[in-house]
Structure formats: structure tokens, C-alpha cells
Chain A
């Protein structure tokens, strides 16, 4: 297929078929999610479940690839669905203009091979992790603040987010992004690494960030992979 000719030979024909049969949930469609959706659609993941209850605000324009001036006030889920349709109409999209919560989390990830955490609250990340554990699917989780980014890949049997954010019983403080904001390039970088992890999980190939946290600090220009267990 000409559309995917430049995926070859880094990906094989067989791997391209595996991607086309894969179903991936992207939860959160802001800075991270917008980038992830773009890259998953282009590389040829066959089905996407997209969820975000937010609508675009003017303050999103500095970094969110799906945000345009014309779309301020419009649903992020709708914008993501339309963008996938414009880039690759072979991708089947299910879009929910809704926030992830205890009631809808299981149904949202049901039938997916993998979920990607692009959320913006630590509390919601744990909710998604729990749902992925129950569904027995891997989760790729990324987060950003200022020029700082982190990514981890979590399989159902792994300790997961508690290794980064502390014990479940400990108070869940807000992340430092409330103070640091988010620049335009940090989400794109972290979204790319999340997408790369997702593709490797789907293809069962390459090195993964399992039980390891990638920490990127673009101001200090440091890239650390921290062994968490």
C-alpha cells in the first residue's frame, strides 16, 4: 500500500498488518494526546478510541496540535476524530466527548490492545491504570510540566504508577505543571516517545520502558532512564 511505503523497511509488511488490526485507546486529547493521535493515525494503527471531555480554550493554542483559533470552544474529541479522518480515513475512530471516570473507564478500554495515558491529572491516571489492569492490557503513560517530560510503559503485572507518584494511600498532590505551565515542544517530544513505546508494545519488539521511567529535562538537556524496581 503506497500510503505506508515509507514505513518500510523499518516496519515489515507483517508488522504493518499487525498495526492495522490493532485498537488503541488515547485518553486525554490535549498536548500529548493530540500528538499521539496524529502519529498513530499516520503510522497506520487500525482503530482508535479517543476520549476527552474538554473543549479547546485560547490557552491551549500555545502547544496543542489539534487546537486552532477556529476550534476554540469546540470539543477536543470531535477535533481529534476529524483530524484522523483527514489524515487517514482507513482508521476506525470511536470518539467520546467525556471525562474518564470510575463509571466509564472499563467500557472505554474494553476491546483495546493498549491504552495511552495523555491525561492531565494524577488522580485520573490511576483510574486509567486500574481499568487497564482489569482489562489486562498494557498502558503507556506520559506526563509533562514546563520543559520536563516523563514516560513509562506499564504491563498489568507491573507495579506501575505507584512507583512514580507514591503509595496509593499517600495524598495525591497536583503535579508541578500547575506552576510551570507547558511549552510547545515538550508535549510533542513526549507524545513521540509514547507513540514509539505503543508501537513497540503492539509489535512485541524493541526495548521498553517497563519498570523504568524516562525523564527528559530539555532545559538542562538531560535524558535519564531511572530504574524503578
Chain B
């Protein structure tokens, strides 16, 4: 198992897991797998960043990663 920190933005805050700031996952979980565990549809997400760097859906989450999940923002 690995433990990560999840940061959700704007409308995605409602998907925050209840178990506190950190979140436990099986080894080799991808971003896509993480989204599905959080019940977030991929179309709601436009940008994933891990430790400050954009990562694709196939990225395998590592222990102690800080994962940001960011929706499309277009207001002016």
C-alpha cells in the first residue's frame, strides 16, 4: 500500500475522501484508477498535477505523492 495526499479544487471538493488528508492506495494505482476510486468522472477533470508537475492518466502514483485534481476553469 502507498499513502498519498489529494488536493481537490472547486467543484471537485465534494469528492474529498473522508479519511483525512492522506489516502491509502494499492501499489501501482494509476491516476485513472485513483479518479475511479474517488468516483470522479474523467470528463470533470482537465489537469492532474503530481508534486507540481502535470501528469497523464497513466501515471502510477507513488508513495507520498501530492496529487492535485483540477477542473476546467473558464470564467472571466
Q: Which residues of A contact B (CB under 8 A)?
A: 28, 30-33, 118-122, 125, 142-146, 148-150, 163-166, 171, 173-177, 179-180, 182, 187, 213, 215, 217, 220, 222, 224-229
Contacts and interface: CB of A to CB of B under 8 A. Distances in A.
A109 B62 CA distance: 45
A166 to B, nearest CB: 5
A224 B74 CA distance: 18
28 contacts: A30-B76, A32-B76, A122-B72, A143-B73, A143-B74, A143-B75, A143-B76, A144-B73, A144-B75, A145-B10, A145-B71, A145-B74, A148-B9, A164-B46, A164-B47, A164-B72, A173-B43, A175-B72, A175-B74, A176-B73, A180-B10, A180-B11, A215-B68, A220-B7, A225-B52, A226-B49, A226-B68, A228-B54
B10 A146 contact: yes
B53 to A, nearest CB: 5
B11 A120 contact: no
Q: Please name the 5 residue pairs, one residue from A and one from B, whose CB atoms are nearest each other, closest first.
A: A175-B74, A177-B75, A120-B76, A122-B74, A226-B49
B59 interface: no
Nearest to A64: B76
Interface in B20-76: 43-44, 46-47, 49, 52-54, 68, 70-76
